[in-house]
Amino acid sequence: MLRDSVVNAFARAALSPDPDLAVAALMIARIEYPSLDSSPYLDQLDAIGREARRRVAEARPSVHASSEVPTQVDEEAYARVVALNDYLFGELRFIGNDRHYEDPRNSFLNEVIDRRTGIPITLAMVYIEVARRADLHVEGVNFPGHFLVRYPGRRGPVPMDQDLIIDAHHGGAFLSEDACRTMLRRQSGGGQDGQEERDGQDGQDGESDAIDPRVFARATKPQILLRMLLNLKRIYVQMHSFPQARDITELMLAVDPSAINELRDRGLLAYHLNDFSAALRDLQAYLQLSSGPDLDSSGREEHEQIWEHVKNLRKRVASLN
């Protein structure tokens, strides 16, 4: 299990008002690489950011590319984002790892920087961190099924207020509303980040249903890190790597103690690992916190299953005393 000092340090980094994501993300990587030195990776991000800043500052609208600029998007802003995209995805060759999407290395920032490949949320994290160092304001978007990046449009009376929605997994592609609508439909079956829209991004199907603006909500720093952890936990559970999955739940609960489903999962993982006292503590707490008259039939069925675990655990713990 992770030491309390590591968990507490991660929580401080994740909940800090400092916008830096990389420090906390590299702490997550220590689950797989306990002796990881974060400094070289932070230095690499700084170096990439310095070069990106130079290129972004020198970017100018191209007469030949003016027809490509979306309606109500500032041409100078578009040119700066294109300059960043050309550098990160064209020259440095960061790319989404579709071939080995479930490889856990795609979720560790050190590996993403070393290998120049990852999944939507880790590539978006690189994008956000480099853009911040380049004085280019972008933000994460907690889009269902596929994490995105937004360059906000200029607000005010001047009609240049259209946001640029950027897909870091697909080479910085700009996504139209139609493309986002298609992605929503493809992930409605419950896919994971990036998997459901690999086959295309056009989405030009003529439908005009409005998208709920909440799907484009800005992702806060804790939300980005929690989504990264949730994806990594799923991979570890599929691999039956239960010690690592349990460490993930420790970090998630440190950031969001109200996540009672993670309390349940931490208890079940402890059960798998024969840590019966810890399992009993967590599962009893889960039953207490999640009980109530509003439980539906599936919730009641789950409670019955957890209660059976608790009764079994009580006998096991009693036999050990």
Q: Are 157 and 303 contained in the same domain? A: no
Q: Are 160 and 20 contained in the same domain? A: yes
Domain boundary among 216, 244, 273: 216
pLDDT in tens, the chain (321 residues): 788 889 999 999 999 999 999 999 999 999 999 999 999 999 999 999 999 999 999 998 875 566 678 777 888 889 999 999 999 999 999 999 999 999 999 999 999 999 999 999 999 999 999 999 999 999 999 999 999 999 998 665 555 577 899 999 999 999 988 899 888 888 775 555 544 333 333 333 444 567 888 889 999 999 999 999 999 999 999 999 999 999 999 999 999 999 999 999 999 999 999 999 999 999 999 999 998 888 888 888 999 999 999 999 999 999 887
Query: Helix 22-29 vs helix 120-133: angle between axes, to the nearest 10 degrees?
Result: 140
Q: Domain span at residue 147?
A: 4-216
For the chain, how many structural domains are there in total? 2
Is residue 233 one of the residues assigned to a domain? no
Q: Are 195 and 271 contained in the same domain? A: no
Is residue 121 one of the residues assigned to a domain? yes
Instruction: Give the end-to-end CA distance of the chain in Å, rounded to a whole number.
Output: 23
Domain boundary among 216, 249, 267: 216
- Alpha-carbon span 100 to 105, nearest angstrom: 10
Q: State the pLDDT at residue 294.
A: 81
Question: What SS3 class is residue 175?
Answer: coil
For 224, residues 6+ apart whose C-beta sits below 8 A from its C-beta are: 21, 121, 125, 140, 142, 147
Is residue 187 one of the residues assigned to a domain? yes
Q: Are 189 and 269 contained in the same domain? A: no
Is residue 222 one of the residues assigned to a domain? no
pTM: 0.88
Is residue 231 one of the residues assigned to a domain? no
Q: State the pLDDT at residue 282.
A: 97
Six token digits for residue 301:
């069925």
Q: Are 69 and 193 contained in the same domain? A: yes
Residue whose C-alpha is closest to residue 121's, from 163, 176, 169, 87:
169
Residue whose C-alpha is closest to residue 74's, from 92, 53, 60, 55:
60
Q: Are 181 and 296 contained in the same domain? A: no
Is residue 151 one of the residues assigned to a domain? yes
